[in-house]
Homo-oligomer: A and B are copies of this chain.
Amino acid sequence: MSKKGIQSKDPHVLNLVKIVGVDPVRKSILYKKEDLLAYDCDGFTLRKHLPRAVVFPKNTAEVAAIVTYCHENDLPFLARGAGTGLSGGAIPLNGEVIISMVRMKKLLSVDFENRRAVVEPGFVNLKLTNSISDKGYYYAPDPSSQYCCTIGGNVAENAGGAHCLKYGVTTNHILGLEVVLPNGKVIEIGKDGVPDQPGYDLLGLLTGSEGTLGIVTKITVRILKNPEGKQTVLAYFDKVADGSKAVSDIISAGIVPAALEMMDKTAIEGVEAAAFPVGHPKDIEAVLLIEVDGIAAGLDEQINQILAVCNSNNVREVKAAQSEQERAKWWANRKTGFGAMGAISPDYIVQDGVIPRSKLPEVLKRINEISEEFSLRIANIFHAGDGNLHPLVLFDARIPGESEKALEAGSLCLKACADVGGTITGEHGVGIEKREEMRFVFTDEEIIAQTEIRQVFNSKNLLNAGKLFPSPGRCVEVKNEIAAAAAK
Contacts and interface: CB of A to CB of B under 8 A. Distances in A.
Interface of A: 111-115, 136, 158, 168-169, 171-172, 185, 187, 189, 191-194, 196-202, 204-205, 207-209, 213, 225-226, 228, 248, 251-252, 254, 294-298, 300-302, 354-358, 387, 421-427, 429-430, 434, 438, 441-443, 445-447, 449-450, 452-457, 468-469
| A197, A294, A430: most-surrounded residue (chain B CB, <10 A) | A197
Contacts of A194: 354-356, 387, 421-423
B199 A442 contact: yes
A162 B138 CA distance: 26
A192 B441 CA distance: 11
Given A172-B172, A204-B205, A445-B187, A193 B421 contact: yes
A381 to B, nearest CB: 19
Given A114-B358, A358-B114, A445-B185, A197 B298 contact: no
A452 B465 CA distance: 20
B468 A199 contact: yes
A192 B114 contact: no
Contacts of A425: 198
B113 A252 contact: yes
B114 A357 contact: yes
A202 B295 contact: no
A213 to B, nearest CB: 8
23 contacts: A114-B357, A115-B251, A172-B172, A191-B441, A193-B356, A194-B354, A194-B355, A194-B387, A196-B354, A196-B427, A198-B434, A198-B441, A199-B430, A199-B447, A199-B450, A199-B468, A200-B208, A200-B209, A204-B204, A228-B254, A295-B297, A453-B456, A456-B456
B198 A438 contact: yes
A450 to B, nearest CB: 5
A205 B205 CA distance: 7
A357 B222 CA distance: 13
A279 to B, nearest CB: 32
Given A201-B208, A207-B201, A442-B199, A192 B421 contact: yes
Given A113-B357, A201-B207, 20 more contacts: A112-B252, A113-B358, A158-B196, A158-B201, A192-B421, A194-B423, A196-B423, A196-B427, A197-B442, A199-B430, A199-B468, A200-B205, A204-B204, A204-B205, A205-B205, A205-B453, A294-B295, A295-B297, A295-B298, A298-B298
Contacts of A202: 446, 449-450
Given A192-B356, A421-B192, A200 B446 contact: no
Contacts of A434: 198
A423 B197 contact: yes
Nearest to A251: B115
| A158, A196, A294, A421: most-surrounded residue (chain B CB, <10 A) | A196
Contacts of A192: 356, 421-422
Contacts of A469: 199
